[in-house]
Amino acid sequence: MSFFKNIKDKLSTQTDSVTEKFKDGLSKTRDSFVGAMNELMMDYRTVDEEFFEELEEVLITADVGVSTSMELVDELRDEALRRNIKNTQDLQPLITEKLSALLVKTEEETELNLQTDTLTVILVVGVNGVGKTTTIGKLAHKFKQENKKVVLAAGDTFRAGAIEQLEVWGSRAGVEVVKQQAGSDPAAVMYDAVRSAKSRGADILICDTAGRLQNKVNLMKELEKVKRVLTREIPEAPHEVLLVLDATTGQNAMTQAKIFGEATDVSGIVLTKLDGTAKGGIVMAIRNELNIPVKFVGLGEGLDDLQKFVPEQYVNGLFSDLIEERKNEEETS
């Protein structure tokens, strides 16, 4: 079975509503990236070094990342030489396949490490302004819809209004929020939250944290302390450390991921505002250069717009026209 037919067959087993949500959410990236690719194919009919240089530029502009873009172009050079591909149109399906392969192989890594016999603790980290509290609220809503009992921990005790903001989201999702006074020790909040979640028989505890990156050293020490407290109460906790990144910030998101990775073992990325950027290639850069799976993506502002990241959905959202075209060609040949 070919790559393109495999993608379409997998998508046929998934809900149409989710497929369309990904397609709609990636429309800006698709129009920009695929448009630039098509323009490149029109400008260059022959596969040569100048074409590869321009292709690298297109990939970097889409925030696929310098390192990832260079690796992909090197692979394409070798493959074009090996297959004796001279026409750029003949190379286009191979470009799509190589880009897609960066993500499709990660499907099993996108699952959350949810516990069945004990409290699951999810630590949510990220700088202020990326949509961290909103993400926590949407996650709480998602789990509540799955009939799980959820408790939130208001661990961002220093940012003005952070506790109140989390309470608003807790109210919307219909879940309890454990808090202390503004300025309290975040680790103390986590201690209370674990004890409270256990006593209430909760399934999941989602912990908010501070995001003052300007105080990098203090922030990292604080996160390390919070993690120690959680581990002391539940040896395997936190079971997930989700780093929230704003897709519209592009390569700056990569820098944030590296910084937070130094302080705690990030197990997954939540990429917000993916629908608001034309540079959705950042998903590929994160996966390839940081080796951290993207677990959720934000494709809108609604309560249900935080979607589990499904590699095939992302690939289809970017290359739907080409995938459909190639599958039809293969079925009629």
Is 208 annotated as a binding-site member?
yes
The answer to whether 272 is a known ligand-binding residue is yes
Annotated binding residue 47: no
**C-alpha distances in Å from residue 208, one per residue of 9, 176, 227:** 39, 13, 12
Q: Is 274 annotated as a binding residue?
A: yes
Does residue 195 have a known ligand-binding role? no
Show contacts of 112-116: CB within 8 Å, 24+ apart. Answer: 112/240, 112/268, 112/295, 113/239, 113/240, 113/267, 114/204, 114/239, 115/236, 115/239
**Of the candidates 193, 105, 121, the residue with the CA atom closest to the CA atom of residue 157:** 193
152, 166 Cβ separation under 8 angstroms: yes
Residue with tokens 């323009």: 39
User: Residue 236, Cβ neighbours under 10 Å: how many?
Assistant: 12
Annotated ligand binding at 131? The verdict is yes
The verdict on whether residue 132 carries a ligand-binding annotation is yes
DSSP code for 155: -
Residue 317 marked in a binding site = no
Residue 210 annotated as part of some ligand binding site: yes
Q: Is residue 129 annotated as involved in ligand binding? A: yes
According to DSSP, the residues that pair with 244 across neighbouring strands are 270
298: left (phi over 0), alpha (psi -120 to 50) or beta: beta
- 209 labeled binding residue: yes
Q: Which helix (H) or strand (E) holds 133?
A: helix 132-145
Q: Is position 149 annotated in a ligand binding site?
A: no
> Per the annotation, does 134 bind a ligand?
no
116 annotated binding-site participant:
no
Q: Is 273 annotated as a binding residue?
A: yes
Instruction: Please state the residue numbers annotated as binding site for GTP.
Output: 126-133, 208-212, 272-275
Instruction: Please state the residue numbers annotated as binding site.
Output: 126-133, 208-212, 272-275
